[in-house]
């Protein structure tokens, strides 16, 4: 009888471990799906967009254009993980790859970046 009880307890432990592993896998899959959905939502390149109340102006954040593609017919945005983000205030219909952004970023890239003056 004791042997039967010990066998049942061992099976229950295995089932419990399997349930935990299945739950963990489901959570991992769900998290990955959310990440893919979030990337699909930001397909236009805009990381955040907040319209100022009562106006047609917005505060937008989007990645900068890759410098190597600034003069091309088909410019592309940098990966958002690089941290090179444009903090834009202006019309809500701003296109991160629009002609005005290309001109602004081309103009800015022609000037050298100033070193941080706060370090000794």
31 and 85 share one domain = no
Number of domains forming the structure of the chain: 2
In a domain, 15, yes or no: yes
73 and 27 share one domain = no
In a domain, 119, yes or no: no
Read off the tokens for 105: 């970023």
Burial of 62 (0-12, 13-18, 19+ CB in 10 A): buried
Helix, strand or coil for residue 68? helix
Can you tell me which residue has the tokens 């706060």? 118
Residue 106 CA: distances (Å) to CA of 80, 87, 97: 19, 16, 12
26 and 53 share one domain = no
Domain with 80, as residue range(s), is 45-109
In a domain, 97, yes or no: yes
Helix, strand or coil for residue 13? helix
Q: Which residues of the chain have pLDDT under 50?
A: 36-41, 119-120
pTM tops 0.85 = no
69 and 35 share one domain = no
């Amino acid at each position: 009888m004791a042997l039967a009880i010990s066998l049942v307890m061992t099976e229950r432990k295995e089932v419990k471990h399997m349930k935990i592993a299945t739950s963990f896998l489901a959570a991992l899959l769900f998290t990955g799906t959310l990440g893919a959905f979030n990337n699909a939502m930001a397909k236009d390149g805009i990381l955040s967009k907040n319209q100022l109340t009562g106006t047609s102006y917005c505060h937008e954040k989007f990645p900068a254009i890759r410098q190597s593609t600034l003069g091309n017919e088909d410019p592309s945005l940098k990966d958002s993980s690089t941290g090179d983000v444009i903090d834009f205030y202006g019309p809500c219909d701003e296109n991160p790859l629009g002609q005005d952004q290309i001109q602004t970023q081309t103009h800015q890239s022609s000037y050298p970046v100033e070193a941080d003056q706060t370090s000794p």
